[in-house]
Chains A and B, each alone.
Chain A
């Protein structure tokens, strides 16, 4: 019984992640508002982070932190069965830090577009600049 619930949860999470990713890609490509594009981008990267966390996750109880308390390996088997893989979490941490830089830069760009053209609609902003060929 427990196994069935685990399987179900796993499939459900994966389906949710796929739907999330598709919606956010739609948002980035087709939404006109630059802020909504930015929101979609953060949703997409968070979806990817959750997917990576899921890769190292263990459905079990109790969950312990992945730290050796006894180096001679007395609790090694226990640790292997009850601790999540720490490496995907390290990857996600790196990804979050990098994503922060990109999001801050894009947010700055959106503010600057609003200051210069008075709109945050991507297509209107493009139309309002017909000064091509100036250096």
Chain B
């Protein structure tokens, strides 16, 4: 039963996206179209919550065989605890973004908007759940195409179109390289299945295969760094994210950048668990070092550039560059603690970044400007949005009772085991970032109001923001003050894919053989 639900989850939003034109042509009402999409996403959220609950009830991951084909031939979806949590997070945040959009997107092109958001959510959920390397490529492209189109949503603004094109060129360059990596994988190892690949890797350890393995790793890493906007490939992100409508900035900065992290998780943790016993180990160590270096450089870059921005959305976009750098540092550790820190950091960052962008959207709509100086004092004018803004900024800055503190603490511990210099670098980077967050918080909440604020009717948006704020506070306090909960959710998820990985892959391999 549960495997059918896993198969349904990514395709429910896609199916809804294709039926939106019919709903639009029949009703021609904005509320009906938006409500239909919201209901579909609410169902998706409930289903993914069921999957996450079930994933924590049993020890083994769930395997869904698309079309009933056995594994190396057919596509499989493998859902472990890590992926199940990411799936739940994704569908919940997209649901709240869509609720927010009901009061934000009021122009005539709303059916396209809804279709693209649904397509994007299908792509991200597919990336999270898939266990097939080629299906990962397809899902990355689904996410990518809808994201490029969403950045170009304001099609009469040259800024939006030019930044969207920049994103599209660099993004499809990345996926072409990933496709090349898939060709290499198939020609050298004869499989595209994640777990099958992890077993076959150890059987071929001659020089040619070592070379091919290294090349596959380089290409995949490059692609995922483009998808996540991490240092050498971060230049598209601060242009593309602010040019989109604000709910889409939240979607891109909170969730779409996660696809790179999930891809790295699948490559470095699931597909390579077996390579430590072979000469491939040196390649894995190099890959880990490269990921961590890219992450730390990205963190430094983002933190420094955050401090000199005048445009509020650009500032938040640079904060995304910084935080994705931290995520890469966490996932590059290749240890239990590293994965634990990454998982908790992903959850915290996605919730807080989406809330921050969405609350800024209220102020931008009210003041009609994106410049930081023109927003001063707007936080006091809109109380609900102001509270959400304060909570999410403090979370990202890492102030103690909120979840950002625990996330940074876990990351610090993981990096401390790897290399003490990197741990110190991460703390210094966070401190530089803190300056920018405090400046943002001070200007928006306590600055003297200089512009006349328009009256905006965004009751639903503010209600959504309150829900998100309460979620952040609950996540923060529960995980910080009750260590058993942290251990049984974040800890056991990381345990399943690092220390108990052998049981994991053996279970998956056995389910393959059964018809």
Contact = CB atoms under 8 A, between A and B. Distances in A.
Contact of A135 (B155, B166, B182, B368): B368
Contacts of B134: 91, 94
A133 B369 contact: yes
A126 B369 contact: no
B186 A91 contact: yes
Interface string A96-135: 0011011001100110110011000010011011011111
Interface in A83-100: 87-88, 91, 94-95, 98-99
6 contacts: A44-B173, A91-B186, A99-B172, A116-B156, A131-B159, A133-B369
Between B134, B145, B157, B165, the greatest number of chain A beta carbons within 10 A of the residue's beta carbon is seen for B165
Interface string B115-140: 00000000000000000001000100
B297 interface: no
B369 A106 contact: no
A105 B187 contact: no
A43 B32 CA distance: 43
A21 to B, nearest CB: 8
Contact of B165 (A44, A51, A110, A135): A110
Nearest to A94: B138
B371 interface: yes
A55 interface: yes
Contacts of A131: 159
Nearest to B171: A102
Contacts of B144: 102
A55 B138 CA distance: 20
Nearest to B367: A135
Interface residues of B, number: 40
A135 B364 contact: yes
A109 B152 contact: yes
Contacts of A37: 169
Given A113-B165, A133-B310, A135-B369, 15 more contacts: A45-B176, A56-B186, A88-B183, A91-B186, A95-B179, A98-B141, A102-B141, A102-B144, A105-B148, A105-B149, A109-B165, A112-B161, A113-B161, A122-B162, A131-B159
Contact of A106 (B169, B186, B187, B311): B169
B203 to A, nearest CB: 18
Contacts of A79: none
Contact of A132 (B159, B164, B176, B365): B159
Given A106-B169, A135-B364, A128 B183 contact: no
Nearest to B168: A106
B180 interface: yes
B158 interface: yes
A91 B182 contact: yes
A131 to B, nearest CB: 7
A34 B148 CA distance: 16
A44 B370 CA distance: 38
A117 B162 CA distance: 10
Contacts of A117: 158
Contacts of B168: 102, 105-106, 109
Contact of A28 (B138, B148, B164, B169): B169
Interface in A36-51: 37, 41, 44-45, 48, 51
Contacts of B149: 105
A102 B311 CA distance: 30
Contacts of B311: 132-133
A2 B334 CA distance: 48
> Chain B CB within 10 Å — which of A37, A88, A91, A135 has the most?
A135
Nearest to A52: B183
A94 B155 CA distance: 29
A85 to B, nearest CB: 8
A102 B142 CA distance: 10
Contacts of A134: 369-370
B72 to A, nearest CB: 10
Contacts of A135: 246, 364-365, 368-370
Interface in B473-502: none
Contacts of B370: 132-135
A55 B162 contact: no
A13 B135 CA distance: 28
Contacts of B152: 109, 112
A51 B162 CA distance: 31
B186 A48 contact: no
B162 A102 contact: no
A113 B158 contact: yes
Interface in B330-364: 364
Nearest to B145: A101
A48 B169 contact: no
A112 to B, nearest CB: 5
A95 B168 CA distance: 16
B183 A55 contact: yes
